[in-house]
Amino acid sequence: MDFNEIKSISDKYLMPTYNHFPVALASGKNATLTASDGREIIDFTSGIGVNIFGVNDDGWKNAVTQQIERIQHTSNLYYNETVAVAAKLLCEKSGFDKVLFCNSGAEANECAIKLARKYSYDRYGENRSTIISLVNSFHGRTMATITATGQEHYHKFFMPFVDGFKYAEVGNKEAFSELLDGTVCAVILEVIQGEGGVLLTPSDYIKYIRQLCDENDIILIFDEVQTGVGRTGKLYAWENIGVKPDVLTSAKGLGDGLPVGACLATEKFGSTLTAGTHGTTFGGNPVVLAGAIEILNRIDNEFLKSVREKGEYIKNKVITFNDVFEVRGMGLMIGVDLKTKKAADVAARCVEKGLLILTAKQSLRMLPPLTVTKNEIDKGLEILKNVLAE
């Protein structure tokens, strides 16, 4: 099919929840994609932080196909070796004790919310179920996670929303402490707000929250759906700030393109959700987890160092480009603020010129595959530089 045919069929049959860029992606290798018309396109998006080993990775493909040839799905009612190995590996590497596998970031956050409320209910009974999230956060699209998302424009159309959420202003310690009225059971936050504009949550604010959570037996949840799995140059972003949460949610990069989510918990909280209190049909699918094992095994210290180095290389170049006002981020999660140009216009123009790049609020956002090569980085940055100079 040519592009126009793909577009017209898609526009006719897909619910119009996304404004598509005018390109159809067909295949590729690493961060170099091929469009339906054969055009080469450099990928600085990884499908929004998902394809962390790029497209068509040989090791990942082998792991996934080998599992497909054995067994593609078992209910969570039965044990499976691949699931066991993935659970052990993820817990050991991340420093947590128990994991629940699901299918997406929103689902991982749903699990964290349910875990927090049940932990509190078991210990303190009813009326201690409030979850605090941060203003400008993003936690997903399900009813509970859009409610947790601290942005007004998500809180329209779908009322009634889920009760028991409050929003704290980022960086304001006093306002945060005033929210602790005895009904709070958990706090959920992103170390870097991704959808919110690649904004680093101040680490002294997070430390303060950690301290208040400890003092009040409140569960601290980090939503590392976007920041996790090596994205920020550590396996999980909490390692960059030295504040460990009680519960951590992971998704996006964990499956390298196959749908997966994980809700991790420390020993104290890990057995809160008992048989019958939570579950999922597909969650922890062995095919997906075979791919996750391959990824986790390859993210070692040397790999993480290369992520940090590539991030610095990109930041140092981009700050010299025309119209760039600020470049920020950690590892290969990078936000760029522009002086006069609109990020959305720049992203659209980049696609025409052969570069996929994301926006987040008014900022440009880059989430290239962690395996992006120097050559691919240079090709992509050349396009961005030219577009910003127009």
Ligand X SMILES: *Cc1c(COP(=O)(O)O)cnc(C)c1O
Q: Which residues bind ligand X (CB under 6 A)?
A: 104-106, 109, 138-140, 190, 194-195, 223, 225-226, 251-252
| Closer Cβ to ligand X, 142 or 386, answer by number | 142
Instruction: Kindly state the smallest distance separating residue 352's Cβ from ligand X, in Å.
Output: 26
Instruction: List own/partner pairs for 237-240 with CB under 8 A and 24 or more apart.
Output: 237/191, 237/192, 237/330, 238/191, 240/191, 240/330
Supply 149's token pair: 């998302």
CB of 197 to ligand X, least distance (A): 12
Residue 190 or 246 having the CB closest to ligand X: 190
Biggest alpha carbon distance in the chain? Answer: 61
Nearest approach in angstroms of CB 250 to ligand X is: 10
Closer residue to ligand X (CB): 251 or 295 = 251
Q: How far is the CB of 308 from ligand X (least distance, A)?
A: 20
Task: Please identify, using beta-carbon distances, which residue of 225 and 287 lies nearer to ligand X.
Answer: 225
Parallel, antiparallel, or unpaired for β 219-223 and 247-250? Answer: parallel
Tokens 């930041």 map to which residue?
Answer: 315
Between 54 and 228, whose beta carbon lies closer to ligand X? 228
CB of 192 to ligand X, least distance (A): 9
Give me the least distance between CB of 253 and ligand X, in Å please.
10
Compute the least distance from the CB of residue 40 to ligand X, in Å: 27
Strand order in the sheet with 32-35: 25-29, 32-35, 40-43, 355-356
Instruction: Give me the least distance between CB of 354 and ligand X, in Å please.
Output: 26
Shorter beta-carbon distance to ligand X: residue 164 or 255: 255
Min separation Cβ 198 and ligand X, Å: 11
Nearest position to ligand X, beta carbon = 105
Cβ distance to ligand X smaller for residue 12 or 153? 153
Nearer to ligand X, 129 or 193 (CB): 193
Residue with Cβ nearer ligand X (28 or 47):
47
